[in-house]
Amino acid sequence: SQMQVTDVQDNSISVKWLPSSSPVTGYRVTTTPKNGPGPTKTKTAGPDQTEMTIEGLQPTVEYVVSVYAQNPSGESQPLVQTAVTTIPAPTDLKFTQVTPTSLSAQWTPPNVQLTGYRVRVTPKEKTGPMKEINLAPDSSSVVVSGLMVATKYEVSVYALKDTLTSRPAQGVVTTLENVSPPRRARVTDATETTITISWRTKTETITGFQVDAVPANGQTPIQRTIKPDVRSYTITGLQPGTDYKIYLYTLNDNARSSPVVIDASTAIDAPSNLRFLATTPNSLLVSWQPPRARITGYIIKYEKPGSPPREVVPRPRPGVTEATITGLEPGTEYTIYVIALKNNQKSEPLIGRKKTDELPQLVTLPHPNLHGPEILDVPSTVQKTPFVTHPGYDTGNGIQLPGTSGQQPSVGQQMIFEEHGFRRTTPPTTATPIRHRPRPYPPNVGQEALSQTTISWAPFQDTSEYIISCHPVGTDEEPLQFRVPGTSTSATLTGLTRGATYNVIVEALKDQQRHKVREEVVT
């Protein structure tokens, strides 16, 4: 043949022809789509040129290529050949994962409509089977399994359209050495911010280990690389009270084993900053800072020397940061334990020690001509039927009548008592002020200048404690405040100034809210 097509690409056709036997001034080469519309491409060549490449063509189109000889008299009849441009090849072939027996690859598809792909995987330096896989036209990745370990392969990806096949996108990759995963992996210790694991391996060449700690709460995973001679490792920088999935791999250069997976949890961090907000002879009010971990509640225990610990019930909820411990003995040192809970996990205890207040010694005078149980009431300015008391009387019980100093009153002194609706059969709770500021007493004022009084009230249901406020009337004296347990129905108030008038308000504390249960003016 005087003309032949020497190369066809997706956008070009190359042709070659024999020179004319007659003198020529040059050649003209044209390419025209055989079927359908499309532009004609024309190029010229000198008289000594016998080959040419026409570029800028469309892929997968059949073209008619014509070569004309030119002289001063005109053009010869053309030499004619037909050729079909090819499919563009896939591009950017990458290997995304390689194991001892498999590989994963991906590529960028050509910008033409296809009917499929063909992937060929051929060993390069070993005798072995070639693998060929046909894929759907919308594919852009492939996983090839069943390969030989530690073998170099050439991977070719072809685009297909009907009977047309593109040039291949090619790459070379080597499968990895076979690496055994760690064996008998387990958790040996866990703290608030660390988890320690241990494991064993087969006797084989390795270059190290990789450990990934992935938190269940979606926070950033932690990844560490470990030396090959290590068989126990502590993962640090973890969050307290958090569940983790730990993935442990064996490494050999670029090869990585399948992971062994361990479920583990860090410990709950303990509460902190234990404080004692208030004390009475039989109660303590404590507060603390919550832990960082998300918890489900607290355990609060208390014990005195020589006795087993007792627990406060009900257990405080997660959002609570203070508690009142009641039923304690006066003048006794107690050890307090605050423990955070997360389901069945317990934190280390937050520990503190505090002594309850002493119970003061009081003296009560007998009521003349009074039979039956004695009734103690609040001194009042309300005028009821008075009776004259003589503080010199003492039945030997060591109890001083509230509101008196125990000294002989002046001539004509009398005390007026008022009963407030119920009898008290148990002794009153002694309350000492929780905020007792120094007052400007004259230098010569003795203990007899200070006094105390007892106030009682009707119980308020389900209260946790009572707050008693004493506001001086008509003086610049600082007010006093007392706290007593919710089981109390009366209290002896100490540290008052003799002869002073106070507006006394009793409030019940329930669910962090105050409810007034009694207000009385006493002198």
Distance CA 402, CA 376 (A): 8
Averaged pLDDT, 454-479: 85
Does the residue 22 lie in any domain? yes
Question: Is the CB of residue 455 less than 8 Å from the CB of residue 378?
Answer: yes
Quick check: 168 pLDDT over 50? Answer: yes
Distance CA 270, CA 196 (A): 20
- Which amino acid is present at 366? P
Residues 168 and 190 in one domain: no
Residues 9 and 41 in one domain: yes
Averaged pLDDT, 237-265: 90
State the sign of the Cα–Cα–Cα–Cα dihedral 136, 141, 146, 150: positive
Averaged pLDDT, 197-217: 90
Query: What CATH number corresponds to the domain at position 244?
Result: 2.60.40.10
Does the residue 437 lie in any domain? no
Question: Is the CB of residue 85 less than 8 Å from the CB of residue 10?
Answer: yes
Residues 153 and 229 in one domain: no
Quick check: 147 pLDDT over 50? Answer: yes
Greater confidence (209 vs 385) lies with: 209
Beta-carbon count within 10 A of 207 CB? 14
Does the residue 148 lie in any domain? yes
pLDDT score for 387: 36
pLDDT score for 432: 52
User: Helix, strand or coil for residue 481?
Assistant: strand
pLDDT score for 46: 93
Residues 187 and 259 in one domain: yes
Question: Is the CB of residue 243 less than 8 Å from the CB of residue 265?
Answer: yes
- 3-state DSSP percent of the chain in helix, strand and coil, to 5: 0, 50, 50
Q: In what order do the strands lie in the sheet with 465-472?
A: 480-485, 465-472, 502-510, 513-522
Residues 196 and 164 in one domain: no
Does the residue 485 lie in any domain? yes
Residues 280 and 256 in one domain: no
Distance CA 413, CA 426 (A): 29
Q: What is the DSSP string of 357-412?
A: PPPPP---PPPTT--SS----EE-SS----B---TT---SS--PPTT--SSPPPTT
User: Helix, strand or coil for residue 1?
Assistant: coil
pLDDT score for 248: 95
Quick check: 374 pLDDT over 60? Answer: no
Residues 238 and 283 in one domain: no
Last residue of a domain, one of 238, 265, 292: 265
Does the residue 206 lie in any domain? yes
Element (H, E) at 333: strand 333-342
Does the residue 247 lie in any domain? yes
Q: What is the DSSP string of 483-518?
A: EEETT-SEEEEEEEETT--EEEEEEEEETTEEEEEE
Residues 246 and 206 in one domain: yes
Distance CA 503, CA 479 (A): 10
Q: What is the pLDDT of residues 328-358, one digit of tens each?
A: 999 999 999 999 998 888 899 999 999 999 8
Does the residue 446 lie in any domain? no
As for how many domains the chain has, the answer is: 5
Last residue of a domain, one of 222, 244, 265: 265
pLDDT score for 417: 30
Averaged pLDDT, 27-55: 91
pLDDT score for 437: 41
- Which amino acid is present at 384? K
Last residue of a domain, one of 44, 63, 85: 85
Question: Is the CB of residue 393 less than 8 Å from the CB of residue 455?
Answer: no
Q: What is the pLDDT of residues 377-409, one digit of tens each?
A: 444 333 333 333 333 333 333 333 343 344 433
User: In sequence order, what are the residues at sequence separation of 6 or more whose Cβ sits closer than 8 angstroms to the Cβ of residue 359?
Assistant: 281, 330, 331, 430
- Could you give the percent of the chain with pLDDT greater than 90? 50
Residues 282 and 352 in one domain: yes
Element (H, E) at 121: strand 116-123
Quick check: 6 pLDDT over 70? Answer: yes
Q: Residue 31's beta-bridge partner residues?
A: 41, 65
Does the residue 131 lie in any domain? yes
Lowest mean pLDDT of 8-12, 171-175, 444-448, name the range.
Answer: 444-448
Distance CA 295, CA 343 (A): 8
Greater confidence (82 vs 203) lies with: 82
Among 50, 49, 63, smallest CA distance to 9 is for 63
Question: Is the CB of residue 241 less than 8 Å from the CB of residue 267?
Answer: yes
pLDDT score for 503: 87
Q: pLDDT confidence of 362, banded at 50, 70, 90?
A: low
Beta-carbon count within 10 A of 329 CB? 12
pLDDT score for 385: 35
Q: pLDDT confidence of 430, banded at 50, 70, 90?
A: low
Q: pLDDT confidence of 361, banded at 50, 70, 90?
A: low
pLDDT score for 431: 58
10 Å CB burial of residue 205 (0-12, 13-18, 19+) is: exposed
pLDDT score for 448: 40
Q: Residue 37 sits in which domain range?
A: 3-85
Question: Is the CB of residue 430 less than 8 Å from the CB of residue 402?
Answer: no
Quick check: 434 pLDDT over 90? Answer: no
Greater confidence (473 vs 262) lies with: 262
Task: Tell me the two tokens of residue 325.
Answer: 């411990």
Residues 283 and 338 in one domain: yes
User: In sequence order, what are the residues at sequence separation of 6 or more whose Cβ sits closer than 8 angstroms to the Cβ of residue 461?
Assistant: none
Quick check: 74 pLDDT over 50? Answer: yes
Quick check: 365 pLDDT over 90? Answer: no
Q: What is the pLDDT of residues 492-510, one digit of tens each?
A: 887 777 778 888 999 998 8
User: In sequence order, what are the residues at sequence separation of 6 or more whose Cβ sits closer than 8 angstroms to the Cβ of residue 420?
Assistant: 377, 378, 456, 457
Distance CA 213, CA 235 (A): 8
Distance CA 499, CA 382 (A): 16
Greater confidence (348 vs 1) lies with: 348
Distance CA 342, CA 298 (A): 9
